C-alpha cells in the first residue's frame, strides 16, 4: 500500500539505507550509507549525520503562532541535534 506519509522499504538490504530516508523514496539513491564496503559506508554515514545536524541547527520554520506546535518543534529539533551529535561522535571514533 502506498500513501503520502508512508515510508515503505521492502528489500532487506535497504534496511541500513539512509538514502531511502534522505530522499523520502523507497529505493536506495546510491547513498553509500548501505554500501558493503565498511570504509565507504562509514564515510557516507558521517556525511549524512553532519548534513542532518546542519539541517536542524539551521532550522527556522518555527511555528511561533502555536505554542503547542512550537514546543513540539523545539523538542524534536533538540532531540535531532543530540542524536546527530551522538552519531557523528560514533562514526568519528570508528575511524581510529
Asked whether 29 and 17 are in contact (CB, 8 A), the reply is: no
- Report in angstroms the alpha-carbon separations of 85 from 14, 44, 52: 24, 15, 10
For the bound state, the minimum distance from the C-beta of residue 46 to Zn ion, rounded and expressed in Å, comes to 15
Residue 8 Cα to chain centre, angstroms: 16
Q: Which of 28, 44, 53, 84 binds Zn ion (CB under 5 A)?
A: 28
Contact call for residue 44 and Zn ion (CB under 5 A): no
- Binding-site size for Zn ion (CB under 5 A) equals 5
For the bound state, the minimum distance from the C-beta of residue 16 to Zn ion, rounded and expressed in Å, comes to 8
Contact call for residue 46 and Zn ion (CB under 5 A): no
For the bound state, the minimum distance from the C-beta of residue 31 to Zn ion, rounded and expressed in Å, comes to 4
The candidate with the shortest Cα–Cα distance to 59, out of 43, 47, 75, is 75
Grid coordinates representing 59? Answer: 532550522
Q: Closest CB to Zn ion among 17 and 46? A: 17
Amino acid at each position: 500500500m502506498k500513501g503520502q506519509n508512508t515510508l515503505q522499504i521492502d528489500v532487506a538490504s535497504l534496511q541500513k539505507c539512509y538514502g531511502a530516508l534522505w530522499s523520502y523514496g523507497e529505493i536506495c539513491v546510491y547513498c553509500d550509507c548501505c554500501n558493503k564496503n565498511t570504509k565507504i559506508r562509514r564515510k557516507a554515514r558521517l556525511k549524512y549525520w553532519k548534513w542532518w545536524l546542519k539541517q536542524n541547527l539551521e532550522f527556522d520554520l518555527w511555528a511561533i503562532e502555536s505554542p503547542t506546535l512550537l514546543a513540539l518543534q523545539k523538542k524534536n529539533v533538540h532531540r535531532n541535534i543530540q542524536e546527530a551529535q551522538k552519531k557523528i561522535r560514533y562514526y568519528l571514533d570508528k575511524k581510529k
